[in-house]
Amino acid sequence: MLESIDVISDVVCPWCYIGKRHLEAALERYQARHPDAAVPTVNWHAYQLNPDMPREGMDRKDYLERKFGGPQRAAEIYARVTQAGTGAGIPFDFGRMQIQPNTTQAHRLIAWAGVQDRQGPLMDLLFQGYFIDARDFTKDDVLADLAAAAGLDRADAVTFLASDELRDDVGADEKMARQIGVQGVPFFIFNRRLACSGAQPPDVLVDAMEEAAATAAT
């Protein structure tokens, strides 16, 4: 029986957005094969691609210069991502982005949404907000707006984001990722025993689900 799927990701990772779409397609196929099976719980865990990013973020052009050597090299790299995104139904718009954010606040919000069983809708809105709508995740008001759109109370989100609540949980997630050897995201763990790294095609994820379920049954 497939009971849980843990996903380690960062909201500024385009492959994580693609991986989420692939996971959704895989779950549909798995559930079609097993219509009587309970829907597995999907839990999202924090990972920061840029853990040393300043709280206020940095100019996107400066970031690309440091990471890739400039926008031209970045465009070459993102061309492959864009193509993969098109296949997953994601119209990436990298050119609109102005700020490369620190993602601690976003990850805290995801953890908070998990307490209220709203991680899935929030993840969709965060990925769309960053990669398509070019929202500035350094602004707590922006994050609160997305929380409200995901069905969470906006005033509570504002209060939460202004606090330090669940900050240690985010740190624990990142420590756990390092301990199990995660070096890139997305990283999927099925039934807490079978791991799969990268934005794998849905068929690969379905196979992993089947294997995890079969192993649990033995």
Q: How far apart are CA 132 and CA 91, in angstroms?
A: 7
Q: Which 8-state DSSP code applies to residue 213?
A: H
Structural domain range at position 59? 4-217
Q: In which residue are the tokens 């995740």 written?
A: 137
Read off the pLDDT band of 44 (50, 70, 90): very high
Say what the pLDDT of residue 102 is.
97
Instruction: Of 13-27, 64-78, 129-143, 202-216, give the lowest mean pLDDT range.
Output: 64-78
Which CATH number covers residue 86?
3.40.30.10
What would the pLDDT profile of 64-82 be if each residue is shown by its tens digit? 999 888 878 888 889 999 9
Question: How many domains would you assign to the chain?
Answer: 1
Total residues belonging to the chain: 218
In the sheet that 4-9 helps form, which strands lie side by side, from edge to edge? 41-46, 4-9, 187-190, 194-197
What would the pLDDT profile of 127-147 be if each residue is shown by its tens digit? 999 999 999 999 999 999 999
Q: How far apart are CA 146 and CA 56, in angstroms?
A: 19
CA distances from 19 to 1, 103, 106, 169, 196 (A): 22, 18, 18, 23, 11
Say what the pLDDT of residue 217 is.
67
Radius of gyration of the chain (CA): 17
Say what the pLDDT of residue 70 is.
80
What stretches of the chain show up as alpha helix (H) in DSSP?
A: 14-33, 60-68, 71-87, 104-115, 119-131, 140-149, 154-161, 167-179, 202-217
Q: How far apart are CA 108 and CA 44, in angstroms?
A: 11
Q: Is the pLDDT of residue 218 over 70?
A: no
Q: How far apart are CA 75 and CA 42, in angstroms?
A: 33
State pTM to two decimals: 0.95
Q: How far apart are CA 163 and CA 125, in angstroms?
A: 22
Task: Give the burial string for 32-46 (b: 16+ CB within 10 Å, else e).
Answer: eeeeeeeebebbbbb
